[in-house]
C-alpha cells in the first residue's frame, strides 16, 4: 500500500483583502491516505475539512506546508486526469442540462467521444437522473443536483475520489445507495476521501478517519481500533426471558444461555466524535491516541439518535 495523499505540516490562514490574517483554518496538519482505502475526514462545522480538500486540489494555496496528491504537487493539472471531486455544494453551471453538464466535464478529459457517451449513460443510470437529463440544472432539486454532481465527479472513472459531504441532501434510499457506491469504488481498488457529518455512515464505510477541531488534528486512525474499548468484555446472547434478565447480572451461565460472542465492546463513532470535540474544548492543543479518550456516555451532548445502538456501556 502506498500513500496517495501526503499532507505535511499543512497550515492555512485566510487573509482579508489587505493581507491581514482573518481565520486560522488549518494548523500544521499532517496525514497520509493510502491507496485503496476509504478515508473519512470528520469534524464540527468550520473545523477545516473543506479547506483541507481545497488545499489538496490547488484551489487554495497553503500558508505553509505541502500537500502531495498522487505523487504530484497540488497545482499540477495533469494529475486531475485521475481525480474526481465532488464539492461541498454542487458548484455546477445552472444553465446547462444534466446531459450537457456531463458532456462538458467529460470533454475536459482525454476521452474519446464514444467512450464519453457510454460513460455518460452509465452514470445517468447510476445516479438515476435519466428522466431529467434534458432539463437545466437550475430546475433540479437539491438532491438531484447532488446526484449530477456525483456523476460529474466520476465521469473520468477516477482512481482517487474526493467527496465533500456526499450524502448531504440525499434521500434515505439515495443515501444507502451512496454508501454502496463508495464500497463498490473501494472494491474496484479506488481510493476515496470523504467529509461527512453522518457518523453512522462514516462508521459503516470508512477504513480510517481523522477528526479535526478548529484546524487541529485530534484523532487519526483505523475505525475499528478507535472504537474498541479495552479492558472490558461484551457478551452477545439470544433472546432473554424476563427472569433471565433479572438474574443475568448474578449468574449468567447458570441459566444455560448460549454464549454467541465474547469480545471487546465497541463504542459508536458518534460517541467518539462527541467526546473528542468535548475533550478538545476542555483540553485544547492535544492530540488523542486510540483508546485514550474516556469511555462512557456523553450526557452533556444532545444526541438525537441515541448513542446506544452500537452497545455502549453505561456505568
Partner 1 sequence: MSFLYVLWQQLGYWFIVVGGAAGAFLLVGIVVSLLQHGSAAPAILGATLVRGVKDLLFMSAKRIAAIAKLTFVESYRRQVFAVGLVFLGVIMFGGWFFGDAKSDSIAPYVSTVVTPMWFVLVPMSLLVSCWGIPADVKERSIHTVVTKPVKRSEIVVGRMLGYSAIMTVIVVAVSLGNYLWLMGQVPEHLKDQMVARVPVYGELTFLDRQGMPSKVGINVGDPWEYRSYIEGQTQSRAIWRFSFLDLGTLKKMESIPLEHRFEAFRTVKGRIEVETRFQLTLINPTTKLRMTLPAMYSVREFVASGRERVLEVPQTLPLTVEVNKKTEWEDPDLQQRVDEEVERVLEELRKEEAAAAAAANRAPKEITRQDVKEVTVDVFVLDDLVDDTVENLGSALTVEIACVEPNQFIGVNPADLFVRLSDKSFTGNYVKAMVGIWLFVILLVILGTTSSCFVKGPVATLLCVGLIILGYHLTGHLETQRQLAEAQAVHGAGGPLEATYKLLTKSPELPNNFGTKVMSKIDGAAVSALNVAQLAVPDLTRFSTEATDRQLQLDISRGFDIPATHMIYRFIVVLSYFIPMVILGYFSLVLRELEHK
Q: CB 221 → ligand ATP: shortest distance, Å?
A: 19
120 binds ligand ATP (CB under 6 A): no
25 binds ligand ATP (CB under 6 A): yes
**CB atoms near residue 77 (< 10 Å):** 8
96 binds, among Mg ion, partner 1, ligand ATP, none (CB under 5 to 8 A by kind): partner 1
Q: Which residues, at least 6 apart from 64, have a Cβ–Cβ distance to it below 8 Å? A: 9, 10, 11, 28
- Find the part of the chain contacting partner 1 (CB under 8 A) among 99-107, 197-205, 216-224, 306-314: 99-107
Give me the 76-95 binding string for ligand ATP, x by CB under 6 A, dash otherwise.
------------x-------
Q: CB 87 → ligand ATP: shortest distance, Å?
A: 11
Distance CA 278, CA 218 (A): 11
DSSP state letters, 84-100: EEE-SS----TTSBHHH
45 binds, among Mg ion, partner 1, ligand ATP, none (CB under 5 to 8 A by kind): ligand ATP
Element (H, E) at 67: strand 64-69
Name residues contacting partner 1, limited to 146-205 (CB under 8 A): 149, 152, 156
Compute how many residues bind partner 1; rule: CB under 8 A: 34
43 binds ligand ATP (CB under 6 A): yes
Q: CB 133 → Mg ion: shortest distance, Å?
A: 29
10 with 40: CB under 8 angstroms?
no
50 binds Mg ion (CB under 5 A): yes
13 binds ligand ATP (CB under 6 A): no
Cell of 26: 488549518
Q: CB 211 → ligand ATP: shortest distance, Å?
A: 11
Among 20, 78, 188, 314, binds partner 1 (CB under 8 A): 78
Phi, psi of 197 (to 5 degrees): -105, -10
Helix axes 142-153, 98-107, angle to 10 degrees: 20
- By beta-carbon proximity to ligand ATP, the closer residue of 60 and 116 is 60
Among 32, 81, 88, 122, binds Mg ion (CB under 5 A): 88
57 binds partner 1 (CB under 8 A): yes
- Find the part of the chain contacting partner 1 (CB under 8 A) among 76-84, 171-179, 212-220, 227-235: 76-84
Q: What is the SS3 string spanning 289-315?
A: CCCCCCCCCCCCCCCCCCCCCCCCCCC
57 with 85: CB under 8 angstroms?
yes
Distance CA 170, CA 176 (A): 9
Amino acid at each position: 500500500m502506498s500513500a496517495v495523499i501526503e499532507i505535511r505540516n499543512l497550515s492555512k490562514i485566510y487573509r482579508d483583502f489587505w493581507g491581514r490574517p482573518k481565520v486560522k483554518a488549518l494548523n500544521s496538519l499532517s496525514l497520509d491516505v493510502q491507496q485503496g482505502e476509504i478515508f473519512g475526514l470528520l469534524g464540527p462545522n468550520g473545523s477545516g475539512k473543506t479547506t483541507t480538500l481545497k488545499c489538496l486540489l490547488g484551489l487554495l494555496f497553503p500558508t505553509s506546508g505541502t500537500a502531495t496528491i498522487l505523487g504530484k504537487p497540488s497545482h499540477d493539472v495533469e494529475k486531475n486526469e485521475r481525480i474526481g471531486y465532488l464539492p461541498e455544494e454542487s458548484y455546477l453551471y445552472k444553465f446547462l442540462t444534466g446531459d450537457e453538464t456531463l458532456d462538458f466535464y467529460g470533454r475536459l478529459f482525454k476521452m474519446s467521444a464514444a467512450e464519453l457517451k457510454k460513460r455518460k449513460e452509465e452514470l445517468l443510470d447510476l445516479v438515476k437522473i435519466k428522466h431529467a437529463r434534458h432539463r437545466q440544472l437550475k430546475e433540479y432539486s437539491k438532491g438531484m443536483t447532488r446526484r449530477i454532481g456525483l456523476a460529474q465527479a466520476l465521469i473520468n472513472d477516477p482512481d482517487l475520489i474526493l467527496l465533500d459531504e456526499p450524502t448531504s441532501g440525499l434521500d434515505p434510499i439515495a443515501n444507502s445507495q451512496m454508501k454502496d457506491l463508495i464500497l463498490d469504488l473501494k472494491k474496484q481498488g479506488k481510493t476515496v476521501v470523504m467529509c461527512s457529518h453522518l457518523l453512522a455512515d462514516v462508521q459503516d464505510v470508512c477504513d480510517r478517519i481523522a477528526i479535526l477541531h478548529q484546524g487541529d488534528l485530534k484523532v487519526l486512525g483505523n475505525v475499528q481500533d478507535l472504537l474498541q474499548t479495552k479492558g472490558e468484555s461484551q457478551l452477545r446472547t439470544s433472546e432473554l426471558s424476563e427472569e433471565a434478565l433479572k438474574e443475568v447480572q448474578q449468574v449468567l451461565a447458570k441459566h444455560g444461555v448460549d454464549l454467541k460472542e465474547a469480545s471487546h465492546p465497541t463504542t459508536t463513532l458518534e460517541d467518539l466524535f462527541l467526546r473528542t470535540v468535548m475533550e478538545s474544548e476542555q483540553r485544547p492543543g492535544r492530540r488523542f491516541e486510540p483508546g485514550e479518550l474516556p469511555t462512557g456516555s456523553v450526557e452533556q451532548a444532545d444526541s438525537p439518535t441515541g448513542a446506544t445502538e452500537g452497545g455502549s456501556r453505561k456505568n
